[in-house]
Structure 1
Amino acid sequence: MSSSLSSLQAAAVPDLDRELANQIFDDLHRIGFDGLGMTRPSYGDGENQAHALFVRIAQDYGLETRKDWAANLFVTLPGKNRDLPAVMTGSHVDTVPCGGNFDGAAGAVAGLLVLCAWAKAGLQPERDTTLIVTRAEESVWFPLSYIGSRTAFGLLAPTDLETPRRDDGISLRQHMQASGGQPELCGVAPVLEASRIDSFVELHIEQGPVLIGDQVPVGIVSGICGSTRYRSAVIYGQYAHSGATPRRFRSDAVMAGAAMMMALNTVWKEAEAAGAEMTLTFGICQTDKAQANFAAVPGRLDLAIDIRSRDEALLEQMNTRVIEEAKRVEAEYSVRVDLGPRTRSTPAVMDPTLQAAAKKLAEQMHLPVVSMASGAGHDAATFAGQGVPTAMLFVRNANGSHNPDESMDMDDFLKGVGLLERLLSVRAF
């Protein structure tokens, strides 16, 4: 059958295996549980075990598996014409420290469920349909965005391989090699070509409260925010006695940081009042435990700055304001501000044709959906940035994300997987 979206009737709808889904999530929980939440570091033992789990299940269903030089996993149900561009889906299975069991993993499990259901039903698509389980999507471990999907397209610079992981200081190169990758092939090994990919669809839990608030199980993503970040900014002041040092003689790192944060917060409010869409977060703000105390003027403040928007021009404007405010507080508070390296990710627009198809399919399924933006970054942004027609589906999830309390209902998940299956089917059969 043609992959044209003018026809929304594809192969017969196969049964999605709820028991298999529960089994995989239980196994992932066992692999990643740290006593409170899930911790599966990028290129760590937990992520390796999760990939091995997917390989084992895929092979049980007769699916093809392979890994690229960076140890990204590809699971494929071969099509009748393997020369046609492939339909792809996927997500990641690493987590932030003490995160939840569904962020990323839900999308990887969803793709595997679809391929297993097709294989069990004896269905063969016209073109290859491939699940990619990416490595290292959570940039909390290495300060690089979308490592797995970028390596898959050959977008990672060889110098990036020397980046140390935050918890152990060991380089990405060494971790990649220990996980079965071949970092020496960076820049040499074959990589994904956008022209060989028909489309990419990623399912993911929503990481905010919109679907819960709207009482809708599934969202269709319109775009993914980009970011500008300073992950390791430091304000250096001068430690001094809290009672013996008048204000005019102080070099107070905390007061400088507070002034800088409040000024940027005011800029954020002004941007929102003008109709702009962005977020601003200071996820780290701490003094030095070894030196700070209640009787001393603080001489050092560490902070992280995270700005996100779908408007790239606004991101650059905010970055300029960050630099300006840093210079202002340096002069006003007699401190030195070291913003450290800036990291960035580019906003991505989801394919309008795929969005329209997803909405039409949801109507046929009598599935309530809403259109919404993604404030968080995802591997789908890499595919879209390479010119691949890309879509994202969100599944309702209580209690946010990046915490142990992620709470995705299995009924909601299977509704999302059902829509994913229909959308992939339209493109693949």
Structure 2
Amino acid sequence: MKHHRTDGVADLAAKMFDDIRLLSSDKAGVSRPAFSDKESETLDYLATRARAEGLHVYEDAGKNLWFSLPEHIDAEKFTVIGSHVDSVPMGGNYDGLAGVIAGLMVLIEARQGRRRPGRAVKVLAMRGEESAWFGACYIGSKMLTGSLPEGEFGAAHKGDGRPLSAHLEALGVDTAPVRARQPICDLSRIDAYLELHIEQGPLLVERDIPAAVVTGIRGNFRYRDIHCIGQAGHSGAVPRAYRHDPVLAFAELMHRLDDTWQHLLNTGEDLVLTSGVVGTDPSRHAIARIPDEIAFSLDIRSQDAETLDQMRAYLKTEMADIARTRGVEFERGSEVAVAPALMDPDLVEGLKKAMERVTGTVFAMASGGGHDAAVFAQAGVPAGMVFVRNRNGSHNPDEAMEIADFMVGVDILSTYMEAAS
């Protein structure tokens, strides 16, 4: 493995990460809520830094920022290097932000004459990727590509309960095109979309590799707030045969899903599933009371669309069976779904060649987490991704990306762009 340089560009990147960390610090980690003032302040900081380096900056109709070299302002066709600037509540500083700063480093090195991209390139800093705030993910890129569903346009904010549409209008966004599912940007001018992102799992750390080329992104379907409704009763007075216990119904459902997950893995299929929010209402329930309701979330992901369809049907069947046998009712609420996305084969090969030039080796892998790249791929834009090694996972304050690894990722992007024509 080749050793990577450190220089003023690496120092600038480190300073930008540190400044934005301070700007958006919370009780733990950072919080940059989607479509919030804090997200706007982060974008303002990036714009100021970019202009100081001689880059052109403009804001689109969705209040996202675009950066380019002065000579590429009016380019008819261009490659986009993009990612998001929002974070989960009390999350890490690198998820999303690393991709934006990586793109800026590519432009700054070109502006300084160190690198010469073979085609026009623009950097995109997007709002609203994380689902933590409105229950829907990739809102910013869905707006850009004209693919935001009506149900997500009216999704309620986790904190204040106001719909997404109201938050967009408060920022000054014209919501009529968004509601009409009209793309905010001219997708025909984008010849490729590239995204650098921290790895959100342990593979690169375990294999001691600084970066990787991504081959595909898992799709998913999610339910933010499923309710299992039963019947309340005294914990000591109601025999098992007469109980309608939603907690045991939920437990049985998760046990069945877990068994199916293991079976699919044993047969070579790809699947992950999570119920990250589970609970009865403590204000109404007690240790001596059979609860009448439990609420939970469900997130099911796979790289294979057929597997997702099978799981969707299986979930419905198992819920109906458990509801009948235990005398409860499941209310799933609205589903949020994103299809799996394969990265463009030509981009994957080009990025692999660039990685080999930079590091002397090649490593490719699938992405377990979802990314804006998937939305662009689904919209017909060729997409590619680079992962950078990161310890301790993501969506938590302990994200631990090293600047040296980050600069390997930047070099892969720059090397790819130099070879592009």
TM-score by length of 2: 0.94
Letter in 2 for 1:281: T
Shift in Å, 1:388? 1.7
- 1:298 corresponds to which of 291, 302, 312: 291
Distance 2:336 2:151 in 1: 15
- The two structures, once aligned, show a CA RMSD in angstroms of 2.1
Question: What residue in structure 2 maps to residue 93 of structure 1?
Answer: 85
Distance 1:298 1:221 in 2: 45
- Map Cα deviations across residues 149-171 of structure 1 (whole Å, 9 max, x no partner): 11112222566433221111122
Shift in Å, 1:188? 9.0
Q: Does 1:112 align with 2:87?
A: no
- 2:307 corresponds to which of 286, 311, 314: 314
Answer whether contact 1:204 1:393 (CA < 8 A) is retained: yes
Secondary structure, counterpart of 1:212 in structure 2? helix
Answer whether contact 1:235 1:302 (CA < 8 A) is retained: yes
- Map Cα deviations across residues 245-302 of structure 1 (whole Å, 9 max, x no partner): 1111111111000001100111111111111011011111111111222211122111
Distance 1:387 1:425 in 2: 24
Letter in 1 for 2:383: T
Distance 1:270 1:188 in 2: 39
Q: Does 1:348 align with 2:335?
A: no
TM-score by length of 1: 0.92
Distance 1:78 1:189 in 2: 28
Letter in 1 for 2:380: G
Secondary structure, counterpart of 1:46 in structure 2? helix
Answer whether contact 2:143 2:181 (CA < 8 A) is retained: no
Q: Does 1:27 align with 2:19?
A: yes
Answer whether contact 1:231 1:303 (CA < 8 A) is retained: yes
- How do residues 64-103 of structure 1 correspond to structure 2 at under 5 angstroms? 64-79=56-71, 82-103=74-95
Distance 2:417 2:30 in 1: 30
Question: What residue in structure 1 maps to residue 141 of structure 2?
Answer: 149
Letter in 2 for 1:256: A
Distance 2:360 2:139 in 1: 34
Letter in 2 for 1:269: Q
Q: Does 1:201 align with 2:213?
A: no
Q: Does 1:170 align with 2:154?
A: no
Question: What residue in structure 2 maps to residue 4 of structure 1?
Answer: none
CA distance 1:338–1:189, change in 2 (3 Å): closer
Secondary structure, counterpart of 2:414 in structure 1? helix
Secondary structure, counterpart of 2:409 in structure 1? helix
Letter in 1 for 2:329: R
Answer whether contact 2:211 2:389 (CA < 8 A) is retained: yes
Answer whether contact 1:205 1:394 (CA < 8 A) is retained: yes
Distance 2:414 2:261 in 1: 39
Distance 1:168 1:129 in 2: 38
Distance 1:188 1:250 in 2: 47
CA distance 1:340–1:137, change in 2 (3 Å): same
- Map Cα deviations across residues 99-135 of structure 1 (whole Å, 9 max, x no partner): 1011001101111111122112286756431111111
Shift in Å, 1:143? 2.4
Shift in Å, 1:354? 1.4
Question: What residue in structure 1 maps to residue 409 of structure 2?
Answer: 416
Distance 2:177 2:185 in 1: 14
- 1:394 corresponds to which of 387, 399, 406: 387
Q: How many residues were matched structurally?
A: 416
Shift in Å, 1:195? 2.5
Secondary structure, counterpart of 1:330 in structure 2? helix
CA distance 1:359–1:47, change in 2 (3 Å): same
Answer whether contact 2:145 2:182 (CA < 8 A) is retained: no
- Map Cα deviations across residues 154-210 of structure 1 (whole Å, 9 max, x no partner): 222566433221111122222223334332443497732332112111000000111
Answer whether contact 1:217 1:368 (CA < 8 A) is retained: no
Q: Which runs of 5+ in 1 are unaligned?
A: 1-12
Percent identical pairs in the alignment equals 38
Question: What residue in structure 1 maps to residue 356 of structure 2?
Answer: 363
Shift in Å, 1:62? 2.1
- How do residues 33-72 of structure 1 correspond to structure 2 at under 5 angstroms? 33-72=25-64
Secondary structure, counterpart of 1:402 in structure 2? coil
Shift in Å, 1:56? 0.7
CA distance 1:381–1:43, change in 2 (3 Å): same
Letter in 2 for 1:244: A
Distance 1:188 1:389 in 2: 21
Shift in Å, 1:17? 0.7
Distance 1:257 1:62 in 2: 57
Answer whether contact 1:80 1:124 (CA < 8 A) is retained: no
Question: What residue in structure 2 maps to residue 216 of structure 1?
Answer: 209
Q: Does 1:384 align with 2:377?
A: yes
Q: Does 1:261 align with 2:254?
A: yes
